[in-house]
Amino acid sequence: MNGQNGFLNNKKRVVFNLLPALAATLLLVGYGMWSAIAQSFQSVDGEWTMASYLELFNSLAFFHSLKLTFRVAILSTLLALVIGLVMTRMLYQFFRDSSSKVLVWIPILIPHFVAGYLVYLFFSQSGLFSSLFYQLGVLDHRAEFPVLVQEKFGIGMILTYVWKEVPFVILMLLPVYYEIDHRYSEVVRTLGGNKWDVFRSVELPWLLPVMVETGLILIAFIASAFEIPYLLGVTRPEMLSVRAYEWFYDGDWSKRPLAFSAMILPGVMALLLAIFCIGAVQKHRLRMIKGRNR
Amino acid sequence: MRFVFNRLGKRELVTSLMVLIFIGLFILPFVVVTVKSFSVGWRFPELLPQAYSLNGWRNIFGDPSLKESIVTTLKVGFYVVLLNLLLSLPAAKVLSTYSFKGKSMIETFLLSPILIPGILLAMGLQFTMIQFGLADQVSGVVLVHLIPTLPYAIRIMRAGYERLGIALGEQASVLGAGPFIRFFTLSLPLLLPSIRSLMLLTFVISLGQYALTAIIGGGNVITLPLLYYPYFSSSNEAVVAGFSILFALLPLLFIGGVEILLRLVIRAVNRV
């Protein structure tokens, strides 16, 4: 590839091509993060202080928000990964031709808050499932239907995220399933292994890096997303993102540092988790890539 | 029916059952919402609408602020997609072709916008954006929409370039094609599937942003999500349902328009 523009050597070409994307990311993430951290340590008058963090750690409401945020993020991610994996395993042959792949793309097409509306439509006390059970004679009154949406545990939010992320997981895992050399599965079966052995020794090594990456993306996204909790959450406890957004737009500017520090904590945790997981998978992945070179 | 079941093996049966479950879970709700948008007062405990009308849709298209916001949304989406293409194409090409020191660090860094809370970054950037006159503007909103979209764009294009390989490019180069001709006659047509998924996904993500748009747009850039929340609390359920369907229709409209544009570009280039 050195023919036409040989005046650019490889190193320069790498830098030149990567620069726009790197600069944009550095500006948005690097500067945004730095500015957010700086503002979390400043009072309204510009003095440097730890006050916002101290206030957060002394607030019971903050810990309730933190607990709810982690619960929703972890449960939704795990459920989406498991359901997505099972569905991909059973359906990858079916999704092989691209016309049926449209089915997976349809739920991806709609924004999260529309998914939230769907959950509300079907699962609220006056929703369609409630109507169905009423018509079947199971319920005498709508109040007998369990409160699944806009309650304290976050069931409505978890349902929404699982529904919305399962197709995402399927889309991430499908290419991996097409890459797997399924003759190995036959080897395992010939040697007397059962389905679980096939999964563990043939599929899992291929799936693991992508599963970890998908799980990281999901957990980081759900822990900080605003759209669904704003629609389906309750006022107490609130998800952290909603709490932070309200502090940010509070008429009183003295609450702004709180908004920053409240979001920095889950951000830092997501980053640490990412570094840990990527480090753990890297070794594994390198071995795989080397093994793939024929 | 029994004949069909006997013909199918157990494995096929399980697969078709799973397909039905998938369709029931992920496709059927859209049918229900579409029906709902044409219904009149479909409330608890009715299982089916008692009457149908076009009132919901009439209400939606009678709202002047909505028309304006559709235009704004499409404008923001168009620029977001364009910027993503311009930034991700060269980066993805390099990442798929060369290996160099610090590559995995750069990859992790490019993925970081979706690991760090977007709402935190937007709040952090807001003050600076005000100083530079980017806040309350479409341009500022387009910039923050890069946070949740760019990592996906790079990922998709990278996979596309990896599938393409470098052999064809080398061959074209040997035959004397310059970088411009190589891109338009070789990479662009062959990368079209990846480019299509990139455009669809980045447009859809941009369409789904409420918090980022609200923080940087400052109530001045009104995209559709900003109207959706007040509609959601309104009592007219057919309107909410219709509005929800609109969100699924816009990406299709956008991708249809872009498809025509792409075909024209490729035809024009191939004619030269």
* pLDDT reported for residue B209: 93
Q: Look at residue A42 and give its three-state secondary structure.
A: strand
Query: Same domain for B116 and B239?
Result: yes
C-alpha separations of B158 from A191, B90, B135, B244 in Å: 38, 10, 32, 32
Query: Same domain for B121 and B20?
Result: no
Q: Look at residue B138 and give its three-state secondary structure.
A: helix
Interface test mutation site (partner A, options B16, B23, B123, B196, max chain A beta carbons within 10 A): B123
Closest residue by Cα to residue A258 from A63, A64, A50, A48 = A50
SS (H, E, C) B67-124: HHHHHHHHHHHHHHHHHHHHHHHHHHHHHHHCCCCCHHHHHHHHHHHHCCCHHHHHHH
**Cβ neighbours of residue B78 closer than 8 Å, sequence gap 6 or more:** B254
Distance CA A41, CA A48 (A): 6
A190: left (phi over 0), alpha (psi -120 to 50) or beta: alpha
Query: Same domain for B18 and B149?
Result: no
Query: Same domain for B78 and B130?
Result: yes
Give the residue from chain A lying closest to B129, CA to CA.
A32
Please, what is the Cα angle at A259 between A255 and A263, to 5 degrees?
A: 165
Residue B43 lies in a domain: no
pLDDT band at A31 (very low <50, low <70, confident <90, very high): very high
Query: Same domain for B97 and B221?
Result: yes
Give the residue from chain B lying closest to A124, CA to CA.
B44
Distance CA A117, CA B229 (A): 10
B14: Cα within 13 Å, side-chain hemisphere: 10
Distance CA A258, CA A264 (A): 10
End-to-end CA distance of chain A: 22
**Cβ neighbours of residue B166 closer than 8 Å, sequence gap 6 or more:** A1, B97
Distance CA A118, CA A112 (A): 10
* pLDDT reported for residue A290: 47
Interface test mutation site (partner A, options B8, B17, B26, max chain A beta carbons within 10 A): B26
CATH number at residue B75: 1.10.3720.10
C-alpha separations of A91 from A41, A161, A187 in Å: 51, 21, 22
Q: Where are the alpha helices (DSSP H) in chain A?
A: 10-25, 32-40, 51-57, 60-91, 98-109, 112-123, 128-135, 155-179, 183-190, 195-198, 204-224, 227-232, 240-248, 256-292
Residue B16 lies in a domain: yes
- The tally of domains found in chain B comes to 2
Query: Same domain for B225 and B126?
Result: yes
Q: Considering the domain A51-292, what is its CATH architecture?
A: Orthogonal Bundle (1.10)
Domain that holds residue B26: 2-37
Query: Same domain for B74 and B27?
Result: no
Residue B55 lies in a domain: no
> Rounded to a whole number, what is the distance in Å from the CA of A140 to chain B's nearest CA?
11
Of B97, B150, B228, the CB nearest to A25: B150
Distance CA B252, CA A291 (A): 41
pLDDT band at A291 (very low <50, low <70, confident <90, very high): very low
C-alpha separations of A62 from A40, A69, B215 in Å: 16, 10, 22
pLDDT, tens digit (0-9, with 9 covering 90-100), for A114-135: 999 999 988 988 888 888 888 8
C-alpha separations of A215 from A76, A113, A270, B102, B147 in Å: 10, 21, 11, 24, 19
CA dihedral A267, A278, A222, A227 (to 10 degrees): 70
Distance CA B254, CA B43 (A): 34
- List chain B pLDDT tens, one digit each, 272 residues: 455 555 567 778 888 888 888 888 888 888 999 988 888 877 777 777 877 888 888 888 888 888 899 999 999 999 999 999 999 999 999 988 888 888 888 888 898 898 889 999 999 999 889 989 888 899 999 999 999 999 999 999 998 998 888 888 888 888 988 888 888 888 888 898 899 889 999 999 999 999 999 999 988 899 999 998 888 887 788 888 988 999 988 988 898 898 888 888 878 877 76
Residue B29 lies in a domain: yes
Q: Do A128 and B177 touch (CB under 8 A)?
A: no
Q: Do B47 and A3 touch (CB under 8 A)?
A: no
Q: Do A91 and B22 touch (CB under 8 A)?
A: yes
Q: Which residues of A touch B219 (CB under 8 A)?
A: none
Question: pTM for this one?
Answer: 0.88
Domain ranges of chain A: 1-40, 51-292
Q: Which long-range contacts (CB under 8 A, 24 or more apart) does A243-251 make?
A: A243/A61, A243/A62, A243/A65, A244/B119, A244/B120, A244/B123, A245/B119, A245/B211, A248/B123, A248/B215
Q: Do B33 and A118 touch (CB under 8 A)?
A: yes
Structure tokens at A83: 């359901």
Residue B250 lies in a domain: yes
* pLDDT reported for residue B252: 87
Distance CA A127, CA A118 (A): 10
pLDDT, tens digit (0-9, with 9 covering 90-100), for A176-215: 888 888 888 888 888 988 888 888 888 888 888 889 889 9
Query: Same domain for B13 and B67?
Result: no
Q: Which residues of B touch A126 (CB under 8 A)?
A: 43-44
Q: Look at residue B39 and give its three-state secondary structure.
A: strand
pLDDT, tens digit (0-9, with 9 covering 90-100), for A131-181: 888 888 888 887 888 888 888 888 999 999 999 999 999 999 998 888 888
- Following DSSP, what letter does each residue of B161-208 receive, concatenated? HHHH-SHHHHHHHHTT--HHHHIIIIIHHHHHHHHHHHHHHHHHHHHT
Whether the upstream peptide bond of residue B45 has omega within 30° of 0, thus cis, is: yes
Query: Is pLDDT of A69 > 80?
Result: yes
> Rounded to a whole number, what is the distance in Å from the CA of B63 to chain A's nearest CA?
20
* pLDDT reported for residue B18: 84
pLDDT band at A3 (very low <50, low <70, confident <90, very high): very low
Q: Do A36 and B121 touch (CB under 8 A)?
A: yes
> Can you give the length of chain B in residues?
272
**Cβ neighbours of residue B30 closer than 8 Å, sequence gap 6 or more:** A106, B245, B248
pLDDT band at A8 (very low <50, low <70, confident <90, very high): low
Phi, psi of A237 (to 5 degrees): -80, 150
Residue B110 lies in a domain: yes
Q: Do B90 and A21 touch (CB under 8 A)?
A: yes
Query: Same domain for B157 and B29?
Result: no
Q: Do residues B37 and B57 make contact, with C-beta atoms less than 8 angstroms apart?
A: yes
Q: Interface pTM (ipTM) of the complex?
A: 0.87
Query: Same domain for B115 and B240?
Result: yes
